[in-house]
Each structure stands twice: as structure tokens, then as C-alpha cells.
Amino acid sequence: MVETIWVGIDVGRHAHHAAAVDDAGTVLWSRRVPNDQAAIEAIVDQACRVESVVWAIDMTAPESALLRGVLSRRGQHIRYVPGRVVHSMTGAFAGEGKTDARDAVVIAQTARLRGDLATVAVPDDVAIELDLLTGHRRDLVTERTRGINRLRGLLTRIFPGLERCFDYSTLTGLAFVTRFTTPSAIDGVSDEEIYDHLRGQGVRRPTIPKMISKARAAAAAQTVTLPGEATTALLVQHAATSLVMLTRQIADLDKQITEVFRRHRHARILESVPGIGTRSGAELVAITGGDLTSFGSPARLAAYAGLAPVPHDSGNRRGALRRPQRYHRGLRKVFYMAALNSSQRDGPSREFYQRKRREKRSHVHALIALARRLVDVVWALIRDGRVWLPRPTVERVSVDEVGAMAG
């Protein structure tokens, strides 16, 4: 009887394909598995008739969530075979063409031959919530950026002076153009009407007089009416109104992310690290699944973040290093931005950054070195279950003060 089998699963949206091989690489069975609980449990029952089963998948995207959930509940461990690896390994096995069935066999064979594949960690509930919320926030921010660029383009067509007046990435600038978008619209109302409109949009009182002055100057500088002005002005107002709503939606989402993040067991530790705030901490938990120890070591976490250079020797050149080609760009950004933020504040991070600069490192290279150091810091704090504390300052005490305290 076969003691160990390797089951490779080519993940799909509506159905997966599973194939099992033995320790000699012989295909034992291959079948299509609908993406529903009963079908997945049936394939687990079939595979678990042997003593040991090694599962491997090629995708950790949402399409594999139910599959991973069922396997986790049954106490099964899953290895991850990236699509790039599947593609490169395909030529090593017999057969041509690309089918789900063949890919499943390649995944199983790769898991059998390679013992260095990462195990798929099962994220905790808070990490899953944060993954959904932070992903949705990224989508909204992208949509908002596109909307701002579109608004600026429209406004430049009819009133370039007003386009230069305000920062339309803020609610203050957007509030103005929800109503006033042409020279005639500004000239046709009093300062009091503009003031009341901006106050109704939540603009702070001290800001309003300067806004009115800048808008009046822009209107006075343009006396010509451009073709399509009325229609374009209406489109600008609609775009601005939508962007105001979108900006407030992002703000509400940020509050929700903060609430969820602070339920996580590592939230207090992460927020204590210089440069890592609530949003960065939430991104970190979402990306890592909430358990950094699943990476095994800080070096592996750094490699996953693209902060551990790999050898790039060629010919007579030795000792050259380069950034790895495969890494998580979102995680790299979290640590890079943390390094950037902490390098601008007094403390150990700034001292480390300045030391690297004195060693003739470029600004970017110094920040990357600091980001790599922060990986070690975060890892150690979570491992030890403690928050980051600044180094204690030693106060000099005079002899008289010592005598007073002794008395």
C-alpha cells in the first residue's frame, strides 16, 4: 500500500482539478472537483485513505478560499507552488500542451521533488477582515485618483486659472467646484454666498477668505467664454460631488480598519514601532495572515518583502547582489514607508539612517537598509510579546539634588 501521496490542485473559479502521484511519480488518479464543500470533502476522503498526504496548490487567491478552509478544518497542511514554478517545471514532465489536468500533475510532481516549498498559512479572522477592508480601500483610492485627474482635465478645458488655485485631493478644494466652476459663476455671486456654500460643505472658517480671494483673482484674469463651457462645468460639478462622497467613504473605511486592526493580538506591538501606524500595521497583518512566525525566520520574512538581496554573479564578477524578482510589493512598501517615516524623527532609526548616509549609501539604499532592520525589530518584538520602547535617557543629577532626595 502507498504510504505517502502528493496531491496537486490546479485552482479554478468554478472548479478545480486534482491529481495524485506516489513516491515514484506515478499518477494514481486525476479528477475534476467542483468548487463546493461536498465535492472538496469527497476528494479529501479519497486522498486520506493512505497514511500521509501532501497537498499543493498553485494559487492563494480568493478562488482557493473554500478549498483551503476545508483542508485546514481536516488538519491538512498545504504547500504553495507559484504559477511561475509550475510554468518552468512543465517541460520536465512528459506531454505537451496546457490543460488543468496536466497542470495538476505538474503541481503534484513539483511538491514531490521539492522540499523547499512554503506552507500556506491559514490567516486568522481579523487578518481576513483586514485583507478585505484594505483591498477595498486601495480600490477606492485608485478610483479617487482617477476621478481627480479627470476633474482637473475638465476644469483645465474651461478655466485653467481655477484649476491651479486649489488642491483637489482635499475636501476643501473639491467643495469649491461642487458649485463654482466658471468665471461667470464666481462673478455672479457675493462673497457671502460663496462663504455660506463652503461652510455648508464643512470648510474651516479661517481658510475661506483666502479661497475667495484666489478664486476672484482667477475669474478676473479670464474674460473669454470657451466652447462647451456650460456642459463641462456641469461635468466638473458632478465629478466634484462624487469625489467628496468618495473621500468621506474612504475616511469612514479608515475608521473601520482602525477598529478591526486594534482587535488583533499584535496591534499594540505594531503601533509601537516607529514609522508603523495603524494603516501600515493593518496592511502588514493582512499581507502576512496575522502570524509572522509562519515565515520561520526574519530572514525569510525579509525575502518575502524583497528586502533581502540575492547573489547575481556572472563570469568574473563575484559578490554582486540584486533585488529578488519574486517578492510581495505591498509588504515591501509597508516596511519602506515605515523606514521613511521613522528616519525623519529623532531616535534609533534616524541614527541608523544617518550612519548609512555617512557610509556613502544613497538615500534609497539607506532607507532599504533601515527597512530591513525594521523587519528584525518587528520580528523580535512579536516573538517576545513586547512593545517597542525608546531607549531610556539618563538624567544628570547634581549633588544637592541627591542630598535632597536622600533627605
User: What CA–CA distance (Å, rounded) separates 279 from 202?
Assistant: 25
CB atoms within 10 A of CB 343: 23
- pLDDT tens-digit series, residues 336-370: 999 999 999 988 999 999 999 999 999 999 999 99
- pLDDT tens-digit series, residues 371-404: 999 999 999 999 999 998 876 433 333 334 333 3
- Of 7-21, 111-125, 255-269, the one with minimum mean pLDDT is 111-125
Band of residue 54 on the pLDDT scale cut at 50, 70, 90: very high
CATH 3.30.420.40 positions along the chain are 4-113
* Structural fold of domain 4-113: Nucleotidyltransferase; domain 5 (3.30.420)
Section 169-181 average pLDDT = 95
Section 104-112 average pLDDT = 90
Question: What is Dmax (Cα atoms) for the chain?
Answer: 90
Comparing 141 with 103, the larger pLDDT belongs to 141
Section 47-68 average pLDDT = 86
* Structural fold of domain 128-259: Helix Hairpins (1.10.287)
State residue 398's pLDDT score.
37
State residue 297's pLDDT score.
86
What's the per-residue H, E or C state across 262-324? Answer: CCCCCHHHHHHCCCCCHHHHHHHHHHHCCCHHHHCCHHHHHHHCCCCCEECCECCECCCEECC
State residue 400's pLDDT score.
41
Comparing 142 with 406, the larger pLDDT belongs to 142
Q: Whole-model pTM?
A: 0.76
User: What CA–CA distance (Å, rounded) separates 321 from 313?
Assistant: 8
Q: Are 264 and 213 spatial neighbours (Cβ–Cβ below 8 Å)? A: no
Residues 6+ apart with CB under 8 A from 180: 186, 189, 194, 197, 215
CATH 1.10.287 positions along the chain are 128-259
